[in-house]
């Protein structure tokens, strides 16, 4: 009995480890428990049946079930079913949550075997589409971006549920914006980022964080450029409102992650650091110090905190604490002429309400 128990534990531990190669995936599919469900269109065939779904094709679903006579495999026409439900195993859940590039091959196989399940509202295949698209986006290659966009657009054509469509659209925004940033298509990236922030969908935090991060960098770059070009901006009634708008937008977007997604440490800590750099540039010493103190207190183990802690310590030890020490600001974009001076103060974005009451 003890021997059987240890065999069970070893099998369970193996199942919990997410397979990543095609060979591992093939073995994992065959070892999945019979906890998937198929729902019959003909009510006389009984209640939903628990099976192991191996694959869904355009016209049929291939299932396995252990019967008294042995393991039986059947191919069932999709027109005989009203719904299909996948019961995700621990390794499948891991694949969907930890979408590192090492999971790409496994997610592709899941997608190939299940993408035809979109017609069934309970299949949850949209999650696989998002996970695969996200992994392709993180690969940061032209082919990866193109494949991710294709997968998401296919999913959006098939999915009717509004909440699922919102999540798919959010990842599509991430793919399009990431590709524009990588290709240095600044105007296209700017358009997409504003589109995301004006929509301000909290259902897609990845899109919001990517967009606000890009816009914080862009507007800070433009702020530095306009002050370099117009050192006496305070005396210029035409330039001053533009400079003020760039200053506040730089801060608003930099602070967004820590205010609304504080649990996302990489983005929140980087945003606080970038806000401190804006304050430093503007000569706002107390605000600069406060932003760094928040950064170090809230995210002490983050790279941003470890980088800025010595700077703040040096400031506290300095005899002359009237101004923060110089911190090199790496320009994120070459935008000396990215925002030409308009004839009047530019209007605010249509729905920019991230920080309104």
Residue 75 is part of a domain; what is its CATH number?
2.30.30
Does residue 141 lie in a domain region? Answer: no
pLDDT tens string 96-143: 887 677 788 889 988 999 999 988 888 999 999 999 999 999 988 999
pLDDT higher than 60, residue 335: no
pLDDT tens string 181-231: 999 999 999 999 999 999 887 788 999 999 999 999 999 999 999 999 999
pLDDT tens string 59-100: 999 999 999 999 999 999 999 999 999 998 888 888 888 767
**Which of 301, 317, 333 corresponds to the end of one domain?**
317
Tell me the whole-structure pTM to 2 decimals: 0.80
pLDDT higher than 70, residue 356: no
254: containing domain: 225-317
Does residue 273 lie in a domain region? Answer: yes
Does residue 258 lie in a domain region? Answer: yes
Does residue 348 lie in a domain region? Answer: no
Does residue 130 lie in a domain region? Answer: no
pLDDT higher than 90, residue 303: yes
The count of structural domains within the chain is 2
Does residue 350 lie in a domain region? Answer: no
**Which of 87, 113, 133 corresponds to the end of one domain?**
87
Residues of the chain with pLDDT > 90, as a percent, come to: 64
pLDDT higher than 70, residue 322: no
Does residue 109 lie in a domain region? Answer: no
Does residue 294 lie in a domain region? Answer: yes
Q: Average pLDDT, whole number, for the chain?
A: 84
Q: What is the pLDDT of residue 99?
A: 66
Instruction: Convert the chain into a string of H (helix), E (strand) and C (coil).
Output: CHHHHHHHHHHHHHHHCCCCCHHHHHHHHHHCCCCEEEEECCHHHCCCEEEEEEEECCCEEEEEEEECCEEEEEEEEHHHEEEEECCCCHHHHHHHHCCCHHHHHHHHHHHHHHHHHHHCCCCCHHHHHHHHHHHHHHHCCHHHHHHHHHHHHHHHHHCCCHHHHHHHHHHHHHHHHHHHHHCCCHHHHHHHHHHHHHHCCCCCHHHHHHHHHHHHHHHHHHHHHHHHHCCCHHHCCCCHHHHHHHHHHHHHHHHHHHHHCCCCHHHHHHHHHHHHHHHHHHCCHHHHHHHHHHHHHHCCCCHHHHHHHHHHHHHHHCCCCCCCCCCCCCCCCCCCCCCCCCCCCCCCCCCCCCCCC
**Which of 41, 57, 87 corresponds to the end of one domain?**
87
């Amino acid at each position: 009995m003890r021997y059987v128990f240890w065999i069970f534990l070893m099998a369970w531990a193996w199942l919990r480890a997410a397979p990543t190669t095609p060979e591992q995936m093939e073995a994992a599919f065959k070892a999945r428990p019979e906890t998937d469900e198929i729902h019959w269109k003909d009510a006389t065939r009984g209640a939903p049946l628990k099976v192991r779904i191996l694959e869904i094709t355009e016209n049929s679903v291939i299932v396995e079930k252990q019967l008294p006579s042995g393991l039986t495999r059947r191919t069932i026409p999709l027109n005989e079913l009203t719904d299909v439900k996948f019961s995700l195993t621990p390794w499948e859940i891991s694949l969907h949550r930890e979408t590192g590039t090492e999971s790409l091959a496994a997610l592709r196989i899941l997608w190939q075997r299940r993408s035809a399940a979109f017609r069934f509202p309970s299949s949850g295949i949209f999650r696989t589409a998002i996970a695969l698209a996200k992994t392709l986006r993180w690969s940061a290659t032209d082919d990866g971006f193109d494949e991710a966009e294709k997968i998401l657009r296919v999913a959006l054509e098939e999915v009717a549920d509004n909440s699922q469509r919102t999540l798919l659209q959010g990842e599509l925004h991430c793919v399009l914006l990431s590709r524009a940033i990588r290709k240095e298509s600044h105007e296209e990236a700017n358009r997409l980022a504003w589109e995301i922030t004006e929509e301000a969908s909290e259902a897609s935090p990845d899109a919001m964080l990517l967009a606000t991060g890009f816009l914080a960098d862009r507007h800070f770059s433009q702020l530095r450029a306009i002050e370099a070009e117009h050192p006496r901006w305070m005396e210029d009634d035409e330039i001053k409102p533009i400079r003020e708008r760039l200053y506040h937008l730089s801060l608003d977007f930099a602070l967004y992650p820590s205010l609304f997604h504080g649990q996302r440490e990489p983005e929140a800590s980087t945003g606080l650091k970038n806000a401190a750099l804006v304050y430093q540039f503007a000569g706002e010493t107390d605000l600069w110090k406060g932003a760094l103190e928040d950064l170090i207190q809230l995210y002490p183990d983050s790279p941003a905190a470890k980088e800025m802690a010595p700077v703040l310590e040096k400031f506290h030890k300095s005899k002359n604490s009237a101004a923060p020490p110089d911190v090199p600001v790496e320009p994120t974009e070459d935008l000396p002429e990215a925002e030409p001076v308009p004839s009047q103060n530019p209007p605010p974005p249509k729905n920019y309400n991230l920080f309104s009451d």
